[in-house]
Structure 1
């Protein structure tokens, strides 16, 4: 059963392509405190990530952890950093002589604490800066211990079409995404809390909805994901015929694709990702941040039903 699926995916990889669509603005952003870290997270149409202020992990043995002031060793604390604009953010043209940056600033911090204090938090701002304004937030090496950053892009979608890669007219064609392209994780081990090392930040993106325009003029239909059995990620029961399947995500083509460009229908996909975060087993499980959509296109041949012996 899975060998058939593997052969189908080899063919799909040659015709599935991510569309270069106009990117959306940030879907949502949220700032949280996890142990000794303050993290500002974001999710948009290209991916998700986090900007955090942090301290060195302390496992509870030995003397108390050093304060931020002690760790600075007399050097000035630079509370802000300039980052490149995250992918998927759409901004107007910057004024002449300036460029856009994402400025993240640690505010309301207390240098006499080991983690910046209870009021410390991050503020994010998209702002145009010239050279002098950009230099307001230098990033010397000694400041690296107070910051970290991680981010990930959504994987290129891989669409599975069952029971065969080439559907037949008037026979249901079932659509799913491969598990590898429908879920992605991002984590960073430096987020351990001084007093609760288990509170590590992990972010997860999962596809929660798949909208499909089959390309034959019948219009778009929407499928919820996450309904396929764990032991069969294609959601297709090979012991049953195409007319007796449980997967509700299917379409019947009434005509072959012979008259279409290159003999294939152009199938348009809208893939909705939901991004959540997790900060430890005792923190209430996964907490959603927001959703964002990715667009893709699939070229799909559809053939007439072949007669027996033909």
Structure 2
């Protein structure tokens, strides 16, 4: 049993701020069929999201239910425009666009059949980053009636918040334990603890992001070490057992500093973190559960003081 009295938990997020470094390009992407739509999902070092090729799910209001309207029915004689330009997702790095042009993400619905209610079994989305001017944009117009065929939703990772136990200032020759707060280890839509970071009721699609690994460079030239990371229980956010001393803990994510940080810049070690997010999706009541899309890394820097003297109880 863990002792809840007099815990020394301090989250280093204000005075010793974590600073995220320049993000990378898209780490992974996947296209799936869900209900009456096709969704293209992406993962990068800033966040994740989905672009879906169809509008609201078909829910008949009369019984017996008539067949769902086809894409051709929805068009009502108007032309189908298979492409749409979106802004570049955060975290994507591109070279300077040619003069007079700007970068867009152009998503195109391909291999679709208009006489089906969801574009057909071969419909899928193709993504491209292209520089465009007014003439280029005219090749991919977006009339109002095409809105019903598209849906976009996305989220970003929370700022990483590092916890160091048993004290916020580690002592020489005493193990220091590293964890991330539950709030910064998963993407949540609310305060209920739900593991679904994004939920789109229009397509019955859920997406979530969770930290699965953290590589720590403690800053004392001893090399990096890797920590498998899971979300700690809400009633034990730091994973540290106060009934045990620092030498008898279950958390394997630890480091022992042999020297104080007195000789370091600002008398603090520079701790570098590489945090790996894994993004998964779930379709409706799929018995198969969460299916991974891919992983992306977020890098951060933590300034950490280490003291020579060991305080009582510390």
**Cα distance 1:5–1:212, how it changes in 2: closer, same or farther (>3 A)?**
farther
TM-score calculated relative to the size of structure 2: 0.88
- Aligned partner of 1:154 among 120, 132, 157: 157
Q: Is 1:135 the counterpart of 2:147 in the alignment?
A: no
Deviation digits for residues 33-75 of structure 1, max 9, x if unmatched?
Answer: 0111100111111111111112332235523222222222222
1:214-233 matched pairs, under 5 angstroms: 214-226=218-230, 228=232, 231-233=235-237
1:23-102 matched pairs, under 5 angstroms: 23-62=23-62, 63-102=66-105
Q: Is 1:303 the counterpart of 2:311 in the alignment?
A: no
Match of 2:19 in 1: 18
Secondary structure of 2:18's aligned partner = strand
**Cα distance 1:4–1:107, how it changes in 2: closer, same or farther (>3 A)?**
farther
Distance 1:5 1:85 in 2: 44
Question: Structure 2 stretches of 5 or more lacking a match?
Answer: 188-196
Match of 1:292 in 2: 296
Secondary structure of 1:267's aligned partner = strand
Deviation digits for residues 240-259 of structure 1, max 9, x if unmatched?
Answer: 01010011000111111122
Contact 1:67 1:114 in 2 (8 A): yes
Distance 1:221 1:135 in 2: 52
Contact 2:35 2:57 in 1 (8 A): no
Match of 1:238 in 2: 242
Cα deviation for residue 93 of structure 1 reads 2.5
Q: Is 1:209 the counterpart of 2:220 in the alignment?
A: no
Cα deviation for residue 19 of structure 1 reads 2.6
Distance 1:105 1:307 in 2: 63
Cα deviation for residue 14 of structure 1 reads 2.6
Distance 1:131 1:282 in 2: 43
Which stretch of the first structure deviates more once superposed, 216-225 or 258-267? 258-267
Distance 1:215 1:248 in 2: 18
Secondary structure of 2:280's aligned partner = strand
Match of 1:195 in 2: none
**Cα distance 1:234–1:144, how it changes in 2: closer, same or farther (>3 A)?**
same
Which stretch of the first structure deviates more once superposed, 286-295 or 231-240? 231-240
Cα deviation for residue 162 of structure 1 reads 0.6
Cα deviation for residue 297 of structure 1 reads 0.7
Distance 1:202 1:189 in 2: 8
**Cα distance 1:104–1:2, how it changes in 2: closer, same or farther (>3 A)?**
farther
Contact 1:167 1:303 in 2 (8 A): yes
Cα deviation for residue 7 of structure 1 reads 5.8
- Aligned partner of 1:247 among 241, 246, 251: 251
Cα deviation for residue 150 of structure 1 reads 0.9
Question: Structure 1 stretches of 5 or more lacking a match?
Answer: 192-199
Cα deviation for residue 125 of structure 1 reads 1.1
Cα deviation for residue 82 of structure 1 reads 0.5
Contact 2:172 2:310 in 1 (8 A): no
Distance 1:244 1:7 in 2: 18
Contact 1:13 1:158 in 2 (8 A): no
Q: Superposition RMSD on alpha carbons, in Å?
A: 2.1
